[in-house]
Structure 1
């Protein structure tokens, strides 16, 4: 993800990346990272990469191979895969930040941007799916017990990834190579007259509609649980609440700055630092999720020493307590348990 989201125009628009590189290599002397904001951004990205690869790799291993496959582990495995994919592209961004020069070619320029928004859309869509899934298991427990299967969950995940990839196409399509005034090759967005449309679609589909959908689902869920006192374990709901809260705190500033940028002529160069900060904050969401699983454990003193076991415990509890205590009474006598 390139933290700079400005639009550029250049005379070499019809040239290939190789032609641009050939024309400018000899005279390219970009200024390396010296400003405090640049150095801090690079350091934070290194931390995000290391923690993101380690944490999400652990979740993928545990959810994919260590615990029993279930609908819940399918959701969290998808989240971890999305975050892991994005974190794997961060080294390219670190190098670009440090040397202030894009050396990885046009394809990787496009792919890193695509991976960022694929991660954004797939993460929020899975959070919506989980929220709806929670509502269904509470309001229709018997139906959920009979129809809620890993195969169907996997099909939903595939659909989510296809939708996310489709909405991320503009990030690939409009990412281009640009020669800066200092003769450095930069990987930037060249939206032209599509800029407003793309930013608004991202905000509406990647933030506003998901936020409203999740709020509605959780309002229904909380009311149902309070009235019937169905849930004995609140940990799964605490984990989901934290996942959703962290996602919106990480991504809301990015969307705000993107919308402000639409009127950049009034703000000029002042948005550069804001773009770097909010883009890095958005990236941080990719390493926070697995740590939420571990830190939700009760034994706070041992969480650093038993990180992997706590992730496994949190994910496994999702499987065991999704339906635990969820019951309905039929004709006053028949109680149905929907424990998975």
Structure 2
């Protein structure tokens, strides 16, 4: 994932810079595409997550372990949404005006949100898998206190690899040319920063591949369990498979593009280091896909709706009395249709 300067430099993309590597170049595409995309992410994300926060804090009669895990997703989304307006301002103004400390915090929050969203959605899907396929497993007797410890462990796992980002300055240029971005070329002035960039790229790929493999495993196992189950009430199983499908859809839309372009950048860096044209093409694609990462903040409320019946009931009950019954029936019919299609 790259955050580039908006100042362009003319050079020959087909040849590397003297001394090796591709020279840093401003990518104007970022300033054109990202502001409207990130603005949509912020508006939709705030609308959905403010509503979700209100329901979690004031409308839920009680919290289950699943509700506690979902609430962590709301927290992760708010961290990212609070950081995006600064990035939008920098893109529109053409330079960074908020100083070095805010630059470090801004990048840290944006990258941490991706990791936290992936990790928490994976935990929710695994918890649902055990509820359905292994109903007698002791994990299903998890208390809210234990769910809190699980959440703390997830946050520690997410924050620890990203924390070194706070130790380095990411300010480039000076005056009206000041920019806040992670890296721009093969060569950096600090070996430590270069190692941090390599770690970031590795995490970007691994934190998608392994959770996605787990999600597919859970979904296939639940689907197989559903097909074998011919008696009893299949509602819980159908809800579980619906949750997995929604989470997988969010994964593919929001996180797959960045993962694919990151792998492409690694391949060019490793096998075609002289091909600066390919490097900057993939850089631009990465910048475009960067905006999709934060679309998860707008889509996560769908995860809350489809994975928690308590949340759905609280959402319907929060509607005005005049609309509650009619909207409640329409909402239930819509969920039931999706529920039927997913299950069968």
TM-score (norm 2): 0.70
C-alpha distance in structure 2 between counterparts of 1:137 and 1:294, whole Å: 18
**What secondary structure, in the 3-state scheme, does the structure 1 residue paired with 2:235 have?**
coil
C-alpha distance in structure 2 between counterparts of 1:193 and 1:110, whole Å: 17
Residue 277 in structure 1 maps to residue 292 in structure 2:
no
C-alpha distance 292-160 of structure 1, shift in aligned 2 (>3 A):
closer
C-alpha distance in structure 2 between counterparts of 1:170 and 1:187, whole Å: 16
**Cα contact 2:122–2:215 (8 A) shared by 1:** yes
C-alpha distance 65-257 of structure 1, shift in aligned 2 (>3 A):
same
C-alpha distance 295-129 of structure 1, shift in aligned 2 (>3 A):
closer
| Structure showing the higher helix proportion among its residues | 2
C-alpha distance in structure 2 between counterparts of 1:194 and 1:259, whole Å: 16
Q: Which residue of 1 is the match for residue 22 of structure 2?
A: none
**What secondary structure, in the 3-state scheme, does the structure 2 residue paired with 1:88 have?**
helix
**What secondary structure, in the 3-state scheme, does the structure 1 residue paired with 2:96 have?**
coil
C-alpha distance 75-237 of structure 1, shift in aligned 2 (>3 A):
farther
C-alpha distance in structure 2 between counterparts of 1:78 and 1:225, whole Å: 29
Q: Which residue of 2 is the match for residue 161 of structure 1?
A: 155
Question: How many angstroms does 1:294 deviate by?
Answer: 5.8
Q: 1:286 aligns with which of 290, 297, 302?
A: 297
Residue 87 in structure 1 maps to residue 87 in structure 2:
no
Residue 41 in structure 1 maps to residue 16 in structure 2:
no
C-alpha distance in structure 2 between counterparts of 1:71 and 1:260, whole Å: 39
Question: How many angstroms does 1:56 deviate by?
Answer: 0.8
Question: How many angstroms does 1:292 deviate by?
Answer: 5.7
Q: Which runs of 5+ in 1 are unaligned?
A: 7-30, 298-304, 318-340
Q: How many residues align?
A: 277
C-alpha distance 295-110 of structure 1, shift in aligned 2 (>3 A):
same
Residue 195 in structure 1 maps to residue 205 in structure 2:
no
Aligned-pair Cα RMSD in Å: 3.4
After alignment, is 214-223 or 236-245 more displaced? 236-245
Residue 56 in structure 1 maps to residue 67 in structure 2:
no
Q: Which runs of 5+ in 2 are unaligned?
A: 7-25, 184-192, 309-314, 333-344
C-alpha distance in structure 2 between counterparts of 1:295 and 1:141, whole Å: 20
Q: 2:250 aligns with which of 205, 226, 246?
A: 246
TM-score (norm 1): 0.71
Residue 231 in structure 1 maps to residue 242 in structure 2:
no
Q: Which residue of 2 is the match for residue 179 of structure 1?
A: 173
Q: Which residue of 1 is the match for residue 3 of structure 2?
A: 3
